Amino acid sequence: MEPTKVGVREFRDKLAYFLEAKTPVAITRHGETVGLYIPTRRRTPNRDLTALKAAAAQVDAMLEAAGISEDELVEDFKRLRKANAKR
């Protein structure tokens, strides 16, 4: 796959556009390639959502095993945060 060639200034000015590219980008200065941007594969939103649901299930199981509610956890967090802020 042939990379898209762009100058340094164009790459800098349109960085957000190039970050969304699906093909490599060759960055040039005075016609000479000085760098390459090679995009990585994107994670699918479903994969992230599945991981988030798994983490939530683990947290629920840990809370149940400890015998505390979400509200108690939040209150403990707030209390500890306040105590650390006073240090």
* pTM of the entire predicted model: 0.48
For residue range 14-65, list pLDDT tens digits in order. Answer: 999 998 888 999 999 999 999 999 988 776 668 888 888 999 999 999 999 9
Would you say the C-alpha torsion 46, 47, 52, 54 has a positive or negative sign?
Answer: positive
Report the chain's terminal Cα–Cα distance, integer Å.
56
Is the pLDDT at 1 greater than 80? The verdict is: no
Would you say the C-alpha torsion 22, 24, 29, 34 has a positive or negative sign?
Answer: positive
Give residue 46's pLDDT: 80
Structure confidence at residue 2 as a pLDDT band (50, 70, 90): confident
